[in-house]
Amino acid sequence: MDRNLALELVRATEAAALAAARFMGKGDPQSADAAASEAMHRALHSIKMRGQVRIGRRALDGFDLLTEGALVGSDETGAALDVALDALECIDSVVTGRPNAMSVVALNPTGVFMPVASLYMEKIAVGPEAAGKIDLEASPLENLVNIASAKRCYVEDLTVSILDRERHADLVRQVREAGARIQLIPDGDVSSAIATAVGDSGVDVVMGIGSARAGVLAAVALACVGGDMQCRFVPMQNGDEARIHELTGGEPRRRFGLRDLVGDGNALFAATGITAGDALGGVHFRKGGASTHSVVMRQRSGTIRFIHANHFFDRKPKY
């Protein structure tokens, strides 16, 4: 896979972020979602690749150009690639003006991404310093002690990012009893997972149940930088048990790691912040243009590039 594709992908996430950011705080999720999807679709079709969406999305209005199975890219003869994406991750964060909304795209050779559909997963994710030190079968206390030991700090120094949901009441209680700090987030576990692996974000570990699609996207980023994740499926609605039984080979409590979700060698990842979060800044508009903050990662080399870009609206790219 051409390494330059990583830098091409960020054009798609920037386009989606710029489109969605216009709707920040306006309480109109359908318009924000449609604008991001359309912008990303146009940008992806300008990239010289032959891709098919394997981890996609379902628009709020029931139609999406980037649903699973959609073809993207301008090259009809090149090697086939699988695409995982979310043009607008954390819709509610955009329409309410909350943090951690971003636009995300990942690439992999065909047949690598786990087909997780609309399922949910219990997850634990850490950055490179604590890779190999987590165990989904262990208690939060045991995991936090092991993470703190790997990072050469006290459990009380750790910050755990957890989605603010009723289902996490017992998890929050156990983390508090362990002595760690907690960051309850309304949305955005992809952003928090990335934050465990980059810079001084202040996030040390992500725990809890969230979207399996978000889990795959976060897994690509963590795989690129040497982080770690364990997860397992959790039935949340009717019909989930049958799908989980199929994906786990009849072992519903089976744990999955990064290699199971995204392979082990050639993934590319790009994300652009829409609203400011733990890992990325948000879109800022100014006279005649805007600025964006993005990250681009490549699994094979472990390269992480942060890109601060200035965009001028009188010189819009022609997709």
pLDDT, tens digit (0-9, with 9 covering 90-100), for 71-115: 999 988 877 899 999 999 999 999 999 999 999 999 999 889 999
In this prediction, residue 296 has a pLDDT band, given cuts at 50, 70 and 90, of very high
Tell me how crowded residue 26 is: count the other CB atoms within 10 A of its CB.
13
Q: Where is pLDDT greater, at 234 or 118?
A: 234
Average pLDDT over residues 113-138: 95
What is the spatial distance between Cα 296 and Cα 95, in angstroms, rounded to a whole number? 26
Range of 44's domain?
A: 5-111+266-315
* CA 317 to chain centroid: 26
Tokens, residue 232: 């397992």
Same domain? For 258 and 124 the reply is: yes
Backbone φ and ψ for 94, nearest 5 degrees, come out as -70, -50
Same domain? For 191 and 240 the reply is: yes
> What is the CATH classification number for the domain harbouring 88?
3.30.540.10
What tens digit of pLDDT does each residue of 188-224 get?
889 999 899 876 788 999 999 999 999 999 999 999 9
Average pLDDT over residues 226-254: 94
Same domain? For 301 and 282 the reply is: yes
Nearest to 81 by CA among 61, 116, 57, 55: 55
Same domain? For 88 and 179 the reply is: no
> What is the CATH classification number for the domain harbouring 256?
3.40.190.90
Same domain? For 188 and 243 the reply is: yes
The mean pLDDT value of the chain amounts to 92
Same domain? For 238 and 177 the reply is: yes
Tokens, residue 190: 């992809």
Nearest to 235 by CA among 119, 136, 137: 119
Same domain? For 299 and 207 the reply is: no
Dihedral angle computed from the Cα positions of residues 11, 202, 145 and 303, in that order, rounded to the nearest 10 degrees? 30
What is the spatial distance between Cα 162 and Cα 293, in angstroms, rounded to a whole number? 24
Same domain? For 125 and 241 the reply is: yes
* Strand extents, DSSP E, the chain: 50-55, 71-72, 80-89, 102-109, 120-126, 159-163, 181-185, 205-211, 228-234, 268-273, 284-286, 289-298, 303-312
Tokens, residue 28: 């109109």
What tens digit of pLDDT does each residue of 144-181 get?
999 999 999 999 999 999 999 999 999 999 999 999 99
Whether 290 contacts 216, CB under 8 Å? no
Q: What is the pLDDT of residue 197?
A: 85
In total, how many domains does the chain have? 2
* CA 286 to chain centroid: 28
Claim: this prediction has a pTM higher than 0.85? yes
